[in-house]
Amino acid sequence: MEIQDCGLGDFGNLPPEMRSCIWDHLCPHDSTQTDLSILRASKCLHEEISHHFYSRISLDVNVSPKFERLQFLEIYSRKWNKHWFLPTQSYARRRGFQSLPYHKVDLTINIHAPNPRDPGQMITLWKRMKALSRILQRASKIKSLKLCFQRGEGKQDWQGSIRDGQASSSIRCGDLDIPDYFMALIPLCSLKSIQEFQISADCQEFFDAIDWSLINSSREFILKGVLPSQDGNNDGNNGNSDNYLPILDEFRDISHLVAELSFMLDLKLDDMDGHTANMLRLDRFSRWFRNGRTGLSPYQRQIRHLLHRYPDIVRYHDPFLADLRKRHIQLVATYHVEFGHGRTFPCRVWDSAEWDCHYPRGIDPLRRDLVQLYWEDYMVYVQRGLFRPLDRLIWDYNSRRARSSPSNLD
């Protein structure tokens, strides 16, 4: 019997049911990566296999506020009954999650509530939501996104105690106590071309506690890219968005808002109490430089990027970079006390694992007396080059600021 060529090659000789069984084996298993080069063989193969993969598929992304090393996100597919545990954002990109056809996928993001008594959990949640939004920003279109606010560890709720019925707020940013649920939502407002957006929760008390004007404004911005008028419908629930008008106004430049909140949280972390804050400070110091002898610093690159793109944020919150210098001195002092003695000076091999080994419980809040105690050691390290780049950046910034000061124009 002659079989008509349909662009499937020899696969066209097989019944669709058997081809579906073959395509099932292309699904990644365990930690292995699947070779999907067959998708480039022909347009017909690409369409049939991708349709088999993504038809009626939904992905659940679990975002936890609990700090754990090498635990970034958990993704689950009900169709494939498959879990992926992603340790870092770069690992997620390598596994292809940044390039998924989200225009064919129903996406659910489950955000677990942070504990306000351990405010570092909110910073952990913020970092993960911001990183997740960067992954999703590559998508030209997102078919459906459902945001589900769920209880955290120990049945921690988003609304705090049931008695007061108020939404929890872990960290005060400027003059505002921004609710935790709104902080978690803000990074997603940078996404474009979302066709359908829903918000749900695992308890009714959450809906009674949230400010619906904030939710509706955010939803309108995500779907249409514009903010609704402030006298819009609040569904008869809490509507106190007038308190948050400065934040909502910043939505017009959402990238600026995300950068400013990230900078503010980095400042807050210096003095923050709690186990998670200690671990976040350790993570910041241990990964200040890349491992090895490169001397490259992702953290310093972020600072340079912020100074170049959003200098107004720095001028407002840390005008002389005094807090950044104190943070830098604490890094150098901690390095000197734990790693500097008995080595070829200065030691140019950076090993983040050494930090984790020396500080299993994290690093305590910044000590204000470190500037006086370790200033001479700090200058020696800087002069010999190990920590010079950031010190030079701070010095150059303050020099430019002094030259442009109105007092120097007289």
Q: What is the mean pLDDT of each run of 10 residues along the chain (410 residues)?
A: 59 84 72 68 82 80 91 84 85 83 90 94 96 91 93 82 70 84 94 91 85 87 79 49 75 92 96 96 92 85 94 94 90 78 56 90 85 76 75 87 63
pLDDT for the residue 387: 76
Q: What three-state secondary structure class fits 234?
A: coil
pLDDT for the residue 405: 66
> pLDDT tens, 162-220?
445 678 889 988 777 889 999 999 999 999 889 999 999 988 888 888 888 888 888 98
Other Cβ atoms less than 10 A from the Cβ of 377: the count is 16
317's tokens: 């919150």
Question: 269 and 281 in contact (C-beta within 8 Å)?
Answer: yes
Other Cβ atoms less than 10 A from the Cβ of 286: the count is 22
pLDDT for the residue 335: 81
With a CB cutoff of 8 Å and minimum separation 6, the contacts of 295 are 289, 348, 350, 386, 389
> pLDDT tens, 246-278?
788 888 899 999 999 999 999 999 999 999 999
pLDDT for the residue 4: 45
**Angle ∠(357,361,364) on CA atoms, nearest 5:** 115
Distance linking the first and last C-alpha atoms of the chain? 95
- Would the pTM of this model clear 0.95, i.e. be above it? no
pLDDT for the residue 275: 96
pLDDT for the residue 259: 96
pLDDT for the residue 232: 45
Cross-sheet strand order for the sheet of 144-150: 82-86, 73-77, 58-63, 106-112, 144-150, 197-201
Phi, psi at residue 3, to the nearest 5°? -105, 130
Question: 45 and 93 in contact (C-beta within 8 Å)?
Answer: no
Strand 172-173 and strand 176-177: pairing? antiparallel
Phi, psi at residue 73, to the nearest 5°? -145, 155
Q: What three-state secondary structure class fits 310?
A: coil
Phi, psi at residue 391, to the nearest 5°? -60, -40
